[in-house]
Amino acid sequence: MGYRILVVDDSEIIRGVVRKSIKMSGLQVDVIFEAGNGVEALGTLENEWIDIVFADLNMPEMSGMELVQKMSEDNLLDSIPVVVVSSEHSQARINELMKQGIKAYIKKPFRPENFRDVVLEVLGDLNGEE
Amino acid sequence: MSDISEEVLSEVTIQVFEEAAFVFLEKAETIDPWEGEMIEVVLDFQGPDKEGSLVLCASNEFAIELAANMLGMDNDDERVLDKGRAAIGEILNMICGILVERFFGSDVICKLGLPVTKEGDVETYAERMKSAQTHISFREEMGARIDAAMYL
């Protein structure tokens, strides 16, 4: 059994690159779902068990931070960690997002090990090694 | 705000192409007139005391190769044939994210726009480049040309 991951980004190419990076990271992954914005992500979260969400910030219909807000208002979703994956490098911005409830932040361009490190830090190792 | 130098734009562009797509660029010694079809993608940014835009320009053929590299697929895979413009836009977005932090510092929050593709027109491109603060031409290993330009 592996992690169940949701990747939320309006760019199909970035979803593909994130998917490739997670597969290359060495993480034990069960399934990777994809959504093109926050609304689609909520639909997936309502129907599937998800361990962790990787979300972009700027997306049409519902942004990454609106998604975090909606999840925090839902008793079933508020414990699912959200990690923002973005091109913004400002530490001030990252600090602001952490205050709003995201669990971690990955800067683009990223490497596969960035995903492994964040998942192990946020969720712990499936084999029980912290 | 720091100066936006040709050296910094060059360094960041080379870094992002390498890290995100395993594409290795070298700065060209001269900027020749563009020949053939082109994809030009523009991204606006806004800092506390200045705003501007960053431009990347490449051929459609190279853009498809870029998308294939980013996704780990073959150039002739039909799934990448329509993703060239998006790939250029994503690379531009990453370059801009690093540059604005370098220029405005890490303690401020800047606004990044969305990448917008302009229809490539060699003559208007050449005319517009005259007003760029910085304009650099690169070549990748197989000889494809990529231009980066900054407007303030």
Burial A92-113 (b: 16+ CB within 10 A, else e): ebbeebeeeebbbbbbbbbebe
Cβ A109–B20 below 8 Å, yes or no?
A: yes
| Interface test mutation site (partner A, options B43, B71, B96, max chain A beta carbons within 10 A) | B71
- Report pLDDT digits (tens) over A103-123: 999 999 999 999 999 999 999
Cβ A88–B108 below 8 Å, yes or no?
A: no
- Report pLDDT digits (tens) over B61-111: 999 999 999 998 888 888 888 899 999 999 999 999 999 999 898 888 889
Q: Residue type at A76?
A: L
Q: Using 50, 70 and 90 to split pLDDT, how confident is the model at B122?
A: confident
Mean pLDDT of B26-52: 90
- B109 in the Ramachandran plot: left (φ > 0), alpha (ψ -120 to 50) or beta? beta
- Report pLDDT digits (tens) over A47-76: 999 999 999 998 989 999 999 999 999 999
Residue scoring higher pLDDT (B119 or B82): B82
Q: How far apart are CA A77 and CA B147, in angstroms?
A: 45
User: What pTM did the predictor assign?
Assistant: 0.91
Q: How far apart are CA B48 and CA B109, in angstroms?
A: 8
Distance from CA of B135 to the nearest CA of A (A): 22
The mean pLDDT value of chain B amounts to 90
pLDDT at A20 over 70: yes
Mean pLDDT of B44-65: 93
Confidence (pLDDT) at B88: 96
pLDDT at A129 over 60: no
Identify the closest residue of chain A to B68 by CA–CA distance: A13
Distance from CA of A75 to the nearest CA of B (A): 31
pLDDT at A22 over 70: yes
Q: How far apart are CA A85 and CA B48, in angstroms?
A: 23
Cβ B86–A87 below 8 Å, yes or no?
A: no
Cβ B20–A11 below 8 Å, yes or no?
A: no
pLDDT at B139 over 50: yes
Confidence (pLDDT) at B52: 93
pLDDT > 90: what percent of chain A?
Answer: 88
- Count of beta carbons in the 10 Å neighbourhood of residue B81: 13
pLDDT at B42 over 70: yes
In the numeric block, which tokens belong to residue B65? 């190769």
Q: Using 50, 70 and 90 to split pLDDT, how confident is the model at A127?
A: low
Contact, B2 vs B148, CB < 8 A?
no
pLDDT > 70: what percent of chain B?
Answer: 96
The mean pLDDT value of chain A amounts to 93
ipTM for the assembly: 0.87
Confidence (pLDDT) at B1: 46
